[in-house]
Structure 1
Amino acid sequence: MLRPGVVTGQYPQRPDLRFGWLDRQAARLTGALRQQLGGRSDTSPAFVSWVNALEEGLLDISDDQLKGRIAALRPRLYGLGFDLTTVAESFSLVRETSRRNLGLRHHDVQISGGFAMLQGKIAEMETGEGKTLTALLPACTAAFAGVPVHIITVNDFLVARDAQTLAPAYAAMGLSVGVICEGMDIESRRAAYRADITYCTNKQVAFDYLKDSLLLEQESRSLHLQLEGLYREYPRTERLLMRGLCFAIIDEADSVLIDEARTPLVISAPGKSDGEPVLYQQALDIADALQSETDFVLRKKEKQVELTALGARRLLELTRGLGGIWSGSKRSREMVTQALVARYLYFIDVHYLIRDDKVLIIDEYTGRVMEDRAWEQGLHQMIQTKEGCALTGRQETLARISYQRFFRRYLRLSGMTGTAAEVTAELWSTYHIGVKRIPSHRPLRRHALKDKVFIREYDKWQSVLEVVVDMYAQGRPVLLGTRTVAESEHLANLLSDQQLPHVVLNAREDVGEASIIADAGRAGNITVATNMAGRGTDIKLDAIATKHGGLHVIATCYHEARRIDRQLFGRSGRQGDPGTFQAIVSLEDEVFTHFLGGPLLASVRRLGSARGTVPRWLSELLRRLVQYRAEAHHRRIRGEMMTMDENLGDMLAFSGRGE
């Protein structure tokens, strides 16, 4: 029962799941065991054979007969639900419709991936295996059964592209499709959510849910909402945007469910400014008068600043006589702490960039600008003041929710990604969603070259240039992955000095993104890009590039999560193409300086070779250590975010408010 109705209500959603610390640890262990043992009871090979057998009977029928078969199937799916017989028939009909209308026939591995998603799992599929087409199978099957389907991805470009690409197949099956993008008005959004299948971003759907929550005021019981229609001229049921949280298919599921989970979603309204521009500048001036280590301690990993006892006394001296908020110790301490965070822990072209006199946040996992996001608690305004930009007013929170709480409310949650194995335990403990590894359609021909770990950053960049020059001479395309806008532009300057033609893709240079990525597989092309998560466009090789060994991918620094490195490396060797990858990094990279520790880092430097490289056996150990520490750190932050969100939800519910 995944659709709105008498049993599930007019706005169906799952009640909040609450886990204590012990429950979460047990669930993490269970998730890891499920991943190890899950393949032993796999029914997908038999299911794929069943779909193939049914497909043979569809090859010679007319288009009208095919539509008739679909029309006859829909009431059976509506009544019986997702039993194997009707699901297999549905998959065979969707596959044949896709072949006729899109020219694309689902491979057997895509059938397995679609089956996993319909069961409420995350299908882990290699880059280039056709996840967009795979989602057509479970989405149409659920829609045939009357279930509202949300296909959720990471940006508006992918939303519009995927919906448009598959539109002929949806139309041929009599299914309506809605698209939610930035800037749409309320009526257009409501109409899009009334469609059988709705394409949207994780941010848009979560914010629209918060708007509905404000409207419902925690009331979702079917009878109450129906009674309201008897005495109100314009009841809430007609003003809601969505039809509840029934079935979600999440593209780039690990990015949405794990990486984005550290950021709360907040609906806010303009608050009072009360002379804040002057206050922010005073706070920055006071921060500049304080001394690091003496007056305050930077905690870079946590992006926090802690005032020392000496710093607290110094703050009292500096604020004496200023009046206003500076006469209160708590408020003045908060303001100066935020000023120190803005000054010493957030940097232009790393965490944000300036465009049209605006501070725009850069998503560290995708390298994209998040134009409508702002940091909380005055930090955004503090950075605006630091950079001399126009000041936006502080916002008053009306509603908030974390991604963890939001996605756990779907009656059925599923997804697809190329990198989920590393976070299987957390996915299960947080969302109770399993991961199914789907084999590639063709054998992989992607080969790893030896990583190089240099002591100095300068030597790293010189080695990168040497490799690029060598690959360029061979006629091979090269993709260089960087962490930040500043690094990508520094590398671009080095390539220009060597007169190597190249293109840059980052948060500042993102015009023509799809064409830049699509052309990255042409012989001799050099592409510099920030993180590749959610770019959504395959890198296809031309004949010359294929002949000379395919795309070579270089990571110029390790990411804090192994998955992100795999996302970058997965751009080579797609669908059986040849390709190679390697990491060329230095101990001066942020991941080492933040997570290795000063004494250990100094010891490692002493072990370096004459060329300034770390021995290979040690470099692999260091990579594992820093990424393990970084992943544990971020996992703890996500856990704290979830606990804080649950506690805040309890307090708001007790006070009679919504989220």
Structure 2
Amino acid sequence: MALASLARKIFGSPSDRQVKRYHGKVAAINALEPELAKLTDDELRARTADFRTQLENGADLDDLIVPAFATVREASKRVLGMRHFDVQLIGGMVLNDRAIAEMRTGEGKTLVATLAVYLNALNGKGVHVVTVNDYLARRDAGWMGQIYRFLGLSVGIIVHGLTDQERRQSYAADITYGTNNEFGFDYLRDNMKYSRAQMVQRGHEFAIVDEVDSILVDEARTPLIISGPSDDRSELYIKVDELMGVIGEGDFELDEKHRAATFTDDGVEKLEEALRSAGLLKGESLYDIENVALVHHANSALRAHKLFRKDKDYIVRDDEVVIIDEFSGRMMPGRRYSEGLHQALEAKEHVKIQPENQTLASITFQNYFRLYKKLAGMTGTAATEAEEFADIYNLGVVTIPTNLPIQRIDEDDAVYRTAAEKYDAIADLIKECQERGQPVLVGTTSIEKSEMLADLLRKKNVGQMNVLNARHHEQEAFIVADAGLPGAITIATNMAGRGTDIQLGGNLEMRIEREAGELEGEAREAKIAEIKATIAQEKEKALAAGGLMVIGTERHESRRIDNQLRGRSGRQGDPGHSKFYLSLQDDLMRIFPVESMDSMLAKLGLEQGESITHPWVTKAIERAQGKVEARNFDIRKNILKYDDVMNDQRKVIFEQRLEFMDAEDVSETVTDMRHDVVENIVTKACPPRSYPEQWNTEQLAAAAKTYLNVDVPVAEWAAEEGIDTEAVETRLREAADALIARKEETYGPAIMRQVEKSILLQSVDGLWREHLVMLDHLSKVVGWRGIAQRDPLNEYKQEAYELFQAMLSNLRELVTTQLSHIEVQMRQPEPPQAPSPAQLTESHIDPTTGENDAVGDDSDRPENRPLDPQLLVGLSRNAPCPCGSGKKVKHCHGAFV
């Protein structure tokens, strides 16, 4: 370690060396600035066409970095009044080099992306900019889109609620902004379509992922799933939930690390007795085959009652169970836990139970984003997950230096024996900060704890505070905008500043929206000048008090989440402080104990209210977090290994579907399938090297009728002298082909070609969905093979392969059977249609915790429909919104949240 530290001091870190390599190009870009400043707008815009011509003539994108980046910087100065710093130019080069740019909060990542986006959009194949929510997609497309449009490029937005035609137009643009969920769901939906013309995406060339750690790490545990409704079993959930009252402390075991709960033998006996009394148990044992569904419901009910807590994991609002996101503390409306857990929670909370869904299509984020030929990302916190980015996505992490030196002071953690002592110390520090006019941001891990701390502060007569959690997420941007005012206290559930920076003295744009929104002309200008002067005064007061104080009320499992909270302080060279307070009763310290911490505190003989603060303690806690991160990485990597098996099969099916969709004539394919079926049924009834008298002629005749719809005298054939299986197979094939030929003569070649294609595609889809269910069940039970000293992954690969081969065999039989028996009505058959969006649920399931993130559809309301931001340019904030909702712009598509 000492040698590594010494080497870093002498030679710099790998990021330092990488950044140095870009300095030459930065100097070249700066040298072009005076020359470009002399160009007219039209001349600057004409450079785009010139760059495209150079690419068509064989130039490489890397050859254009210097002139293209210089062009974007000049356009940004003219359109937005924002000039890229040198470190932002370096960030753009990192993105272009297929890497992750780690840039501190407030360093302008949104502007950095414009450099690599413009350069890579020049080839006309499309660039996708991926954001974490619809608000940021709209904001960034409207804001940065001004640069692209000025330079002659088109911009599209993909958000929830668009029609397929609107999506197609947005994907056809040079640059497309959208959320990770929508991009992934569009890919799955495209592979449920029945013609190229119905598909919306046009390929996966280059993507830049904003908040890359959130999307490619946190959310990568949760596959995207499209599902349709299945049978309603709400009554059974309610009856099983009512029986949970008989389950006592010794009747179950909890594993909080893995969010698992299991019944003990005593618990099973009690449950069986209760189920028997309620008339629900079939047979003698709960684990009889007839009671598989009961076991599923009972396990879901146990987890709902013993592992999931109201106001921490979920809240009840408007007769619905709404999940709280564990990483951001936000409400996730529409999101649902999987495998019946959400229905069990609904039964527990006595709200309306929504039916379960059946999986129709699925993909993980890892495998979706690996579809891109070129991938890059940006975030404030990626270094701690560098191994995962390299291993899974082949992405390096480059830490970009800040534009101005960081002045924030990160103090060592303070560790207390009990949570009560910890919160008292936090309250005292908050009161002290408020008295000296220092703004405070407090990060908590749950709604429950944020509201408990707010109550404690009220009892200590601490003044005005804002509690920012999932209950009040609608006001998030405005609350965060005021978090930098002198003496302001903001308590947030690990979500502060998402999409909005905390600026000392207040946020100018938000203040103008609130205080000058109704004004126009000179009155508005005067008010804006007054607001600017006030913000300048308030900023001086906040700076004098020490800048923003960030307080963490406990450590998160991931250092990255803690670093995100810390990063809210000290933006753009401002002073600031950060400090984390811990207790031995915290979840992290309890579930993942730091070795010898308790004995260390005991030996010190700490008095009530005393804490231990030392760099060694902080390091020990960070090491514990590192172990948890490594464990979570192993979980994600293991999930990916299993999904890779499905992904290989998914690629085969999706590519095959595209071939079928593109083909005008699939008759050769269905003929091959029919001949394979003939060969298969003959082999089963007439084994190789067997004599005719050993053949099962009845079986063969029945199979010929079932699959081929032909009556053939198999018994007579078997009695012929010198007959063999090859001759039988030939005769059967000719009979089957003759039947299809007669159908074609009756209905006409054109109709038969369309029928064949329709049946082929629909059969592929139906069997693929059944196969997904089979693989899902297999993945849940294959882990037990480890008890028998067999590798579960190898077992899964082998059985998944066998299931896939069986599915292909079933496909051949299904297509052959349907075509042999079909009777076509004499009218032009309608082409098959993909399932209606109204019947589908888009969800985001976590295989390790069972969380299911389903998206509801309220897109029919005008204010929920996406709007081209260009339509808002030049409009007064008080004008009617062009979307047709009847609301003012500022209350509709021009709102900040």
TM-score by length of 2: 0.65
The Cα of 1:501 is off from its aligned counterpart by: 0.4
Alignment of 1:420-431 (within 5 A): 420-431=382-393
2:331–2:473 Cα contact (<8 Å) kept:
no
Counterpart of 1:18 in structure 2 is none
1:365–1:533 Cα contact (<8 Å) kept:
no
The Cα of 1:162 is off from its aligned counterpart by: 1.1
Counterpart of 2:854 in structure 1 is none
AA matched with 1:472: Q
The Cα of 1:535 is off from its aligned counterpart by: 0.3
Distance 1:626 1:287, change over 3 A: farther
The Cα of 1:325 is off from its aligned counterpart by: 6.8
Counterpart of 1:627 in structure 2 is 625
1:350 aligns with 2:312: yes
The Cα of 1:90 is off from its aligned counterpart by: 0.6
Which one of the candidate residues 488, 497, 503 is aligned to 2:466?
503
2:305–2:348 Cα contact (<8 Å) kept:
yes
Question: Unaligned stretches of 5+ in structure 1?
Answer: 1-34, 217-235
1:616 aligns with 2:613: yes
Counterpart of 1:547 in structure 2 is 544
Distance 1:621 1:119 in 2: 34
Normalized per residue, which structure has more helix? 2
1:286 aligns with 2:243: yes
Distance 1:182 1:41 in 2: 39
Which one of the candidate residues 556, 572, 588 is aligned to 1:591?
588
Distance 1:111 1:559 in 2: 33
The Cα of 1:527 is off from its aligned counterpart by: 0.7
Counterpart of 1:657 in structure 2 is 768
Counterpart of 1:20 in structure 2 is none
Which one of the candidate residues 298, 312, 323 is aligned to 2:254?
298
Counterpart of 1:538 in structure 2 is 501
Alignment of 1:190-589 (within 5 A): 190-215=168-193, 236-273=195-232, 276-292=233-249, 294-320=250-276, 322-323=278-279, 328-497=290-459, 498-532=461-495, 535-541=498-504, 542-589=539-586
The Cα of 1:291 is off from its aligned counterpart by: 2.7
2:15–2:400 Cα contact (<8 Å) kept:
no
Matched position secondary structure for 1:554: strand
Counterpart of 1:168 in structure 2 is 146
Distance 1:193 1:326, change over 3 A: farther
AA matched with 1:606: A
Distance 1:448 1:407, change over 3 A: same
AA matched with 2:115: L
Matched position secondary structure for 2:76: helix
Matched position secondary structure for 1:509: helix
AA matched with 2:438: R
The Cα of 1:641 is off from its aligned counterpart by: 2.0
The Cα of 1:546 is off from its aligned counterpart by: 1.4
Matched position secondary structure for 2:159: coil
The Cα of 1:625 is off from its aligned counterpart by: 4.0
Distance 1:533 1:431 in 2: 28
The Cα of 1:638 is off from its aligned counterpart by: 1.1
Counterpart of 1:233 in structure 2 is none
Moved more, 407-416 or 40-49: 40-49
2:157–2:178 Cα contact (<8 Å) kept:
yes
Distance 2:497 2:643 in 1: 27
1:325–1:331 Cα contact (<8 Å) kept:
no
Distance 1:466 1:355 in 2: 34
The Cα of 1:566 is off from its aligned counterpart by: 0.5
Distance 1:534 1:495, change over 3 A: closer
Distance 1:613 1:401 in 2: 50
Matched position secondary structure for 2:582: strand
The Cα of 1:82 is off from its aligned counterpart by: 4.2
Distance 1:335 1:191 in 2: 45
Matched position secondary structure for 1:524: coil
Distance 2:462 2:579 in 1: 23
Distance 1:557 1:203 in 2: 30
Distance 1:71 1:65 in 2: 11
Distance 1:189 1:472, change over 3 A: same
Distance 2:437 2:408 in 1: 18
Deviations 1:229-269 (A, max 9, x none): xxxxxxx2221121121111011101110011111211111
Deviations 1:25-81 (A, max 9, x none): xxxxxxxxxx96465455311121121122231011111111122221122235546
1:102 aligns with 2:84: no
2:282–2:291 Cα contact (<8 Å) kept:
yes
Question: Unaligned stretches of 5+ in structure 2?
Answer: 1-11, 284-289, 505-538, 654-763, 773-897
Counterpart of 1:50 in structure 2 is 28
Q: Report how many residues are paired.
A: 602
AA matched with 1:657: W
Counterpart of 2:508 in structure 1 is none
RMSD: 2.2
The Cα of 1:651 is off from its aligned counterpart by: 6.2
AA matched with 1:352: Y
Distance 1:400 1:202, change over 3 A: same
Distance 1:446 1:459, change over 3 A: same
Matched position secondary structure for 2:261: strand
Distance 2:586 2:65 in 1: 50
Indicate the structure (1 or 2) with the bigger Cα radius of gyration: 2
1:106–1:133 Cα contact (<8 Å) kept:
yes
Which one of the candidate residues 123, 133, 138 is aligned to 1:145?
123
The Cα of 1:650 is off from its aligned counterpart by: 5.2
Counterpart of 2:158 in structure 1 is 180
Q: Relative contact order, CA 8 A, sep 6+: which one is greater?
A: 1
Distance 1:596 1:172, change over 3 A: same
Distance 1:371 1:572, change over 3 A: same
Counterpart of 1:641 in structure 2 is 639
Distance 2:282 2:577 in 1: 58
AA matched with 2:166: S
Distance 2:577 2:70 in 1: 37
Distance 1:425 1:98, change over 3 A: same
The Cα of 1:514 is off from its aligned counterpart by: 1.4
Counterpart of 1:115 in structure 2 is 93
AA matched with 1:515: F
Distance 1:488 1:579 in 2: 22
Deviations 1:345-369 (A, max 9, x none): 1112111112211111111112222
1:286–1:336 Cα contact (<8 Å) kept:
no
2:103–2:401 Cα contact (<8 Å) kept:
yes
Distance 1:643 1:463, change over 3 A: same
Moved more, 257-266 or 96-105: 257-266
Deviations 1:517-546 (A, max 9, x none): 121111111111111377021111122101
Distance 1:241 1:592 in 2: 48
The Cα of 1:621 is off from its aligned counterpart by: 4.6
The Cα of 1:137 is off from its aligned counterpart by: 0.5
